[in-house]
Structure 1
């Protein structure tokens, strides 16, 4: 497709509401959402998108009930296991952004294994934002810079220099952000990186989001004129 952006970010909202509408437990919504993510990632690779960032688990999500968090973490482990097994076949490169604090050793080990096994893959790069918050990322980046300055390294802080201290170092900013489930906010996601990103909101819950829905979003994207702050 000639109209695909280089980098698409997803806020995958509505798993719980999707389940509630069907009188199912919230865990069923998260499970279906995980399945949809697999399908959308594979489709993005097919149509030539180079980077996909998925807001998988935010720093604020820890406030949810323990049972729900445990279910999400179990699904995450299953997803990572599947990705590890298919890493060579899919030729997808995986990077995880966010804090490791609070994650189980099992999940951390799987993340490290997956990143290591896929680092030389040349296809789609999938970035999972796990235990991630935009404000937290900016604070961590600032503290890294302060630590280097205190060690005697001098910096003229520019946007480019600052970007190199973020979790997304080396990854281009998203061209297009898609948020499902009708919410019109970015929820502490990629606060620095979304400066000139085009936003798209759909009322569909994430478990109902399809390849056709992505195509419709991309058709709208191609009709927009990105100005990057210029007239």
Structure 2
């Protein structure tokens, strides 16, 4: 759902997307296994979600597990899947009580049935909430998302539901996992890496980026506030020139 550049917006970002990087390095710096850092990072999510309403952030999208993360060790992947299941079970009530609506994006086919069931239950349990829209990217990759969207679009063309000449840059977003969400205004990547790692490739075409050195388990609501306030000073022209 791209934003109309002529529409006035809140001076801060309405939609913040975060690449939560640095959990493993944070743990290793403390002589602990990488999974220790992932658990610390999961706890940090709660603080960030709770900070959003006060900052005017209506939408928060977090990158939890990428399509490339399957390349990690079997122990780490299994630990992460267990962490996701535990997070959903533990946080469902708190998320619902805070008025948070949760959605998941990504390809669910490779995930285990128990995790998929928990994801479905959390989405259903929070579907009427509107304080913050929390989107969790799980087994998500931007290229994979575009490929899956293009496949569905091609099926509609083949079925005669869509004319080839009607396909334009406004058409494809309707087939993306994020079709009900506005594009992110601000994308933050923690841990000092300066790359987007296949995250929201289509949606972030005009997003502002912040690459910060803080490792994700050390990221605070105060730092989020600083980045949101900094965003408000940026001149977003969407390719145009101010008169």
Q: Same fold (TM over 0.5)?
A: yes
Q: Write the deviation string for residues 151-184 of structure 1: whole angstroms up to 9, x where unpaired.
A: 1223311222210000001200000001000000
Alignment of 1:28-107 (within 5 A): 28-107=36-115
Residues 100 and 126 of structure 2 are in contact (CA less than 8 Å); yes or no, is this contact kept in structure 1?
A: yes
Query: For residues 36-84 of structure 1, what are the alpha-carbon distances to aligned partners after superposition, in whole Å with 9 as ceiling and x for unaligned?
Result: 0111111113333100000000000000001111111111111111232
Q: Distance in 1 between matches of 2:53 and 2:27?
A: 28
Query: SS state of the match for residue 161, structure 2?
Result: coil
Q: Tell me the equivalent position of 1:221.
A: 231
What's the TM-score once normalised by structure 1's chain length? 0.96
Question: What SS does structure 1 have at the residue aligned with 2:70?
Answer: helix
2-structure distance, mates of 1:68, 1:36: 19
Which segments of 5 or more consecutive residues in structure 2 lack a partner in the other structure? Answer: 1-9
The RMSD of aligned alpha carbons is: 1.2
- Structure 1 stretches (4+) deviating beyond 3 angstroms? none
Once residues 30 and 110 of structure 2 are traced to their aligned partners in structure 1, the CA distance between those partners, rounded to angstroms, is 32
SS at match of 1:223: coil
- C-alpha distance in structure 1 between counterparts of 2:162 and 2:212, whole Å: 46
Find the aligned partners of 2:59 and 2:28 in 1 and give their Cα distance.
32
Match for residue 212 of structure 2? 202
* Matched-pair contact (CA < 8 Å) for 1:11–1:54: yes
